[in-house]
């Protein structure tokens, strides 16, 4: 989420916006405080007392959440009310700064920005005696189960690591609290869950940093299991629940690379195998990832066999079969070495990942002929069914040509890839420019642009424009813009054409604004067209802009919101 604070009204449902404005005007926003840099917490008096949390950085709203039950969209009326409040406060502060006003009256619920809450907390902690702080924490642990569990998770004793079940219990309590009587976590509660589980995840990362690896393993495994299970009774449309399974699994993979004790290595290895065999993450990519994790932890052939015997069960789909082959290759390479692994590769070249590995291996051995043949065979294999893979094999052919310094092939493959423009891995234009002589380049680029202009299915104006901009062919850039106009494209290339072709751009803007309003309605679209009318004026087209506005007022006299926006131009 990134929304300009001064334009937030455009992104909120009109009904919610009106209710939020009513709350704001009635003074229902009781208090707004800056908790930490760029983070705000507000109290709103509604049918109950609700808490709104916002993150606002450099004038952009980056996050917003409320603990009310509203779940029909990202913004409730309480958030809208707080945004109106903050927007007004920012304007007041700006006005006072600019005018130098002294003694200006502030609203009753002023925005407290001088000292953040966390700054106050840090100041207290800096001055409180250590023994008093310990007594206070001990008392809170006695009175609050949640606080006690949080302390134990964050400051785990490396000699007495709590078991996975301890952390699972904490997460279950968090989930149970958020699910309520309905036994379902609605979207407005997902943020609350994410905040609390994030504290536990941070505790796991801290334990990892302090080399308390067993505690980190137990916490991460608990998060993975419980948050994955929660997906069955939660609205995770914003990904806040599932993301923690990813975060925890990433941590486990990081821990697998650490110098674990033999006991900890076996604990993690056995857990990965157990999770796979018990289908804890069945139906998700995390299921297969458990085998990948296990394969990174094995040390000898007996451990490798435990994984290898599980792989045949993964042939239910092409994807799973290929992933099983990749895991098998990694195991063979780790246990049996390069030669046996290479033999395995050559037998499984229908697997695109393994073919790419084989090509890269051949390049490293400077066997460019074999590398090229592997890539060309891949093109032949995939050209009918997998066009995306065909482009990948051409990318490999370009890399091979670059590695061996074959100028002719470099130009050939870079040209093909520039036209295809599918997930580019290099700047193909620059590759061409580097390898084509100054004398030949204009004719080559003209032919390339012409071919792009004559595309059979669609024309990629950005690829054509790049050539014209690099070669400084401004009349040609204007021509292609006239042939394929859009408001966004005109704006993109305005800076290159404004000096010599301002009037042409003004005409293009006016035409496209009319076209836009023929097909679209709504405030956000009206704001957009007004933005481009302002660009017309900036280009010197104030008269044309006035004529256009007059036409629009007559044609769309029933569109009240459009008329309001036009009045602001």
The helix or strand, by DSSP H or E, that contains position 167, with its residue range, turns out to be: helix 164-179
Q: So what's the pLDDT on residue 102?
A: 44
Q: So what's the pLDDT on residue 476?
A: 95
Decide: 52 and 42 in contact? Cβ < 8 Å. Answer: yes
pLDDT per residue over 171-184, tens digit each? 998 898 888 888 89
The pairs formed by 414-419 with CB atoms below 8 angstroms and a separation of 24 or more are 415/448, 417/391, 418/448, 418/463, 419/448, 419/451, 419/452, 419/463
Structure tokens at 367: 């066997």
Across 286-304, b (16+ Cβ under 10 Å) vs e yields: bbbbbbbbbbbbbeeeebb
Q: How far is CA 383 from CA 40, 355, 422, in A?
A: 54, 15, 14
Q: So what's the pLDDT on residue 88?
A: 80
Q: So what's the pLDDT on residue 1?
A: 65
- DSSP symbol at 314: G
In order along the chain (569 residues), what is the average pLDDT of each group of 10 residues? 83 88 90 81 86 87 83 84 84 50 45 60 84 87 75 65 88 88 84 85 92 94 96 88 95 96 96 96 94 96 94 84 94 93 94 96 96 96 91 97 96 95 90 94 94 79 94 95 93 95 96 94 90 94 96 94 91
pLDDT per residue over 88-142, tens digit each? 876 554 544 455 544 444 444 444 444 566 777 888 888 888 888 888 888 888 8
Q: So what's the pLDDT on residue 486?
A: 93
Q: What does the CA dihedral 458, 461, 462, 465 come to, rounded to 10 degrees?
A: 150
Site of tokens 């406060």: 89
pLDDT per residue over 459-481, tens digit each? 789 999 999 999 999 999 999 99
Q: So what's the pLDDT on residue 149?
A: 67
**In terms of Cα–Cα distance, which of 360, 387, 388 is closest to 374?**
360
Q: So what's the pLDDT on residue 544?
A: 96
| C-alpha span between 91 and 87 (Å, rounded) | 6
């Amino acid at each position: 989420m990134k929304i300009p604070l001064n334009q937030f009204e455009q992104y909120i449902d009109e009904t919610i916006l009106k209710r939020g404005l009513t709350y704001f005007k009635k003074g229902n926003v009781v208090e707004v405080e800056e908790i930490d840099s760029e983070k705000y917490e507000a109290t709103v008096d509604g049918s109950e007392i609700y808490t709104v949390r916002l993150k606002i950085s450099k004038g952009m709203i980056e996050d917003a959440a409320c603990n009310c039950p509203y779940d029909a969209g990202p913004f409730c009326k309480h958030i809208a009310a707080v945004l109106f409040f903050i927007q007004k406060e920012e304007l007041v502060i700006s006005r006072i700064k600019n005018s130098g006003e002294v003694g200006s009256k502030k609203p009753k619920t002023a925005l407290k920005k001088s000292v953040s809450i966390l700054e106050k907390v840090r100041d207290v902690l800096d001055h409180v005696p250590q023994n008093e702080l310990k007594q206070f924490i001990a008392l809170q642990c006695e009175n609050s189960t949640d606080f006690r569990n949080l302390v134990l998770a964050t400051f785990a004793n490396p000699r007495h690591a709590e078991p996975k079940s301890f952390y699972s219990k904490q997460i279950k309590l968090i989930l149970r609290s958020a699910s309520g009587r309905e036994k379902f976590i609605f979207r407005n509660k997902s943020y609350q869950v994410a905040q609390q589980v994030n504290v536990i995840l941070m505790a796991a990362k801290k334990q990892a940093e302090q080399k308390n690896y067993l505690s980190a393993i137990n916490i991460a495994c608990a998060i993975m299991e419980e948050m994955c299970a929660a997906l069955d009774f939660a609205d995770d449309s914003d990904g806040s629940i599932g993301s923690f399974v990813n975060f925890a699994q990433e941590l486990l993979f990081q821990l697998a690379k650490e110098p674990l004790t033999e006991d900890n290595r076996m604990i993690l290895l056995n857990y990965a195998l157990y999770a796979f065999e018990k289908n804890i993450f069945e139906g998700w990519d995390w299921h297969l990832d458990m085998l990948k994790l296990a394969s990174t932890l094995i040390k000898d052939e007996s451990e490798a066999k435990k994984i290898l015997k599980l792989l045949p069960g993964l042939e239910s789909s092409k994807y799973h079969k290929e992933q099983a082959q990749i895991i098998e290759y990694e195991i063979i390479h780790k246990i049996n070495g390069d030669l046996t692994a290479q033999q395995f590769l050559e037998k499984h070249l229908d697997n695109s990942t393994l073919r790419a590995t084989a090509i890269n291996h051949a390049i490293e051995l400077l066997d460019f002929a074999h590398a090229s043949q592997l890539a060309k065979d891949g093109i032949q294999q995939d050209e009918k069914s997998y066009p995306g893979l065909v482009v990948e094999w051409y990318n490999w052919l370009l890399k091979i040509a670059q590695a061996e310094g074959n100028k002719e092939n470099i130009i050939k493959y870079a040209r093909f890839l520039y036209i295809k423009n599918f997930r580019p891995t290099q700047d193909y234009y620059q590759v061409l420019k580097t390898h084509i002589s100054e004398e030949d380049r204009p004719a080559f680029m003209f032919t390339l642009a012409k071919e792009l202009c004559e595309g059979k299915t669609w024309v990629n104006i950005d690829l054509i424009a790049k050539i014209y901009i690099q070669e400084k062919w401004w009349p040609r850039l204007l021509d292609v813009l006239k042939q394929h106009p859009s408001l966004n494209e005109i704006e993109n290339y305005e800076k290159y054409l404004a000096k010599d072709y301002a009037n042409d751009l003004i005409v293009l803007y006016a035409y496209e604004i009319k076209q836009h309003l023929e097909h679209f309605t709504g405030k956000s679209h009206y704001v957009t067209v007004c933005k481009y009318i302002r660009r017309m004026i900036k280009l010197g087209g104030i008269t044309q802009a006035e004529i256009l506005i007059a036409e629009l007022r007559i044609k769309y006299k029933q569109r009240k919101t459009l008329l309001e926006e036009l009045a602001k131009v």
